[in-house]
Amino acid sequence: MVKILAATTASLTALIGLGYFLTTVALKPIGNDLSVIGKGKPVLVLVYENYSLAGGDALTRLSRVKSDYDSRLDFVVADLGVPEGRAFANRHQMINGQAMFIKQDGQPLWIRSIPADELALRSRLDSSLTAVE
């Protein structure tokens, strides 16, 4: 019985450690600090609602490409579950799952849905960054 308990404890500890590593180091979650807008670097803001399939899928697609663009583009979530996120979405008439590409000076370049295809997403980000650099 003690061996089973020890093995279970070790397994749970390993899973927790792996989860911590993935969420803090490997995946580098997308933050919700909208104050980075207009601070000299382009920003892609995703309007996101927790527990929503559309927002979750878009967030997953952005997370897959984020590390390749971090040096040139900030990724931010406008969380509809907090006042600042709702205010951003309302001000720009955006809905869950839509994204806004914002130029270095804080002016929007476009509002669109995140493409389902990774190559299309990368192409859109590359062309948008080329347009503002």
Confidence of residue 10 (pLDDT cuts 50, 70, 90): low
- Nearest alpha carbon to residue 114 among 97, 127, 128: 97
Q: Taking the CA atoms of the chain, what radius of gyration do you get in angstroms? A: 18
- Nearest alpha carbon to residue 128 among 102, 106, 107, 105: 102
pLDDT tens digits for range 91-100: 999 999 999 9
Sheet holding 98-102, edge to edge: 74-79, 43-48, 98-102, 108-113
Kindly give, in sequence order, each residue whose CB lies less than 8 Å from that of residue 21, ignoring residues fewer than 6 positions away.
none
13 and 38 part of one domain = no
Query: Which domain, by its residues, includes 14?
Result: 1-28
23 and 41 part of one domain = no
pLDDT tens digits for range 27-78: 457 999 999 999 999 999 999 998 888 888 999 999 999 999 999 999 999 9
Number of domains forming the structure of the chain: 2
12 and 48 part of one domain = no
Domain of 48, CATH number, reads 3.40.30.10
